Chains A and B, each alone.
Chain A
Amino acid sequence: MTQSSRLDATFAALADPTRRAILARLALGEASVTELAKPFDMSQPAISKHLKVLERAGLISRGQDAQRRPRRIEAKPLGEADEWLEKYRKLWEKRFRHLDGLLEELKSQQKKRKHTKR
């Protein structure tokens, strides 16, 4: 997958609350499909569908144990999505810090104007 289509898959996978909850669970450690299905009011096939989406996005992978087939979280694609959001946030944080300074200036100008009017 190219970087951009991989990111698309990541965002699509993360758009769903159930899949985010599954990832949150897997962040604590690997788990089998049965274990993952437990907290959700969902059938195993329904959970398996979500797992497939997550797997395609490269967000999770299957562990070695052939019987349990535990799923585990893959950090790299998540990192990419976060990183892009983080860069965007950094730019806006910088802009808004400058805006804070500008607003202080505008406030003191306004006070001065009121003062001179009196």
Chain B
Amino acid sequence: MPKSGELKLTTRGDREILMTRDFNAPRHLVWDAFTKPELIKRWLLGPDGWSMPVCEVDLRVGGKYRYVWRNDSDGQEMGMGGVFRKVDRPNRIINTEKFDEAWYPGEAVNTTEFAEQSGKTTVTQNILYESKDARDGILKSGMESGVSRSYERLEEVLASTAPARTTKAEATEARQ
């Protein structure tokens, strides 16, 4: 088991994201937190400054769920949803997931497993995307602004250091 509270997040192959996390609570409570709208809303947050006005869950095979996050400052919305394929309480949930404004083809299939050991629960999520582009797209989704901010910073740093280095190298080359 991973260290309590530590999130293990990795990509596997070209199309998967794997997440594992321990929770200090029995499985039936973790299951509730993952499946009851009034509880999901409390933790399944968007980026900072976003609220979650829509959270609907029809927890049965063939039932749908829908989540919408809203940017409270400019009203921009980001929605996603899907269908439950397997509901095996309290062990496992398999559901499809797709963002409204998907920039990739197809849906992802999310398998969430709950394993209890001495009062603690290990949650393992495996999200399988239809393509590599979709998986890589998700990794940068919803965090674009943060990422582009870091890129801007990175570019600034590179711009301030690179020319000096190039000039020096060019100068050396010219002399040879």
Tell me the A residues contacting B by CB distance below 8 Å. 3-4, 7-8, 11-12, 15, 79, 83-85, 87-96, 98-104, 106-107, 110
Contacts and interface: CB of A to CB of B under 8 A. Distances in A.
Given A7-B136, A8-B136, A92 B14 contact: no
Contact of A12 (B132, B150, B151, B154): B132
B66 interface: no
Interface of B: 5, 7, 9, 11, 13-14, 17, 19, 21, 23-26, 29-30, 32-33, 39, 42-45, 47, 132-133, 136, 138-140, 142-143, 146-147, 150-151, 154
B39 A102 contact: yes
A104 B9 CA distance: 24
A91 B43 CA distance: 11
A106 B29 contact: yes
Given A8-B136, A11-B132, A100 B45 contact: no
A96 B23 CA distance: 9
Contacts of B25: 103-104, 106-107
Contacts of B33: 99, 102-103, 106
Question: Which applies to chain A's interface (DSSP): helix, strand, loop or mixed?
Answer: helix
B43 A96 contact: yes
A89 B7 contact: yes
A100 to B, nearest CB: 7
B13 A92 contact: no
Nearest to A79: B154
B9 A92 contact: yes
A87 B139 CA distance: 8
B21 to A, nearest CB: 5
Given A91-B143, A103-B24, A85 B9 contact: yes
Contact of B7 (A4, A79, A92, A106): A92
Closest 4 CB pairs of A and B: A103-B25, A98-B43, A87-B143, A99-B43
A96 B173 CA distance: 54
Contacts of B132: 8, 11-12
25 contacts: A7-B140, A12-B132, A15-B13, A15-B14, A79-B154, A84-B136, A84-B139, A85-B9, A87-B139, A87-B140, A87-B143, A87-B146, A87-B147, A88-B9, A88-B139, A89-B9, A90-B143, A91-B45, A91-B47, A95-B43, A98-B45, A99-B33, A102-B39, A102-B43, A106-B33
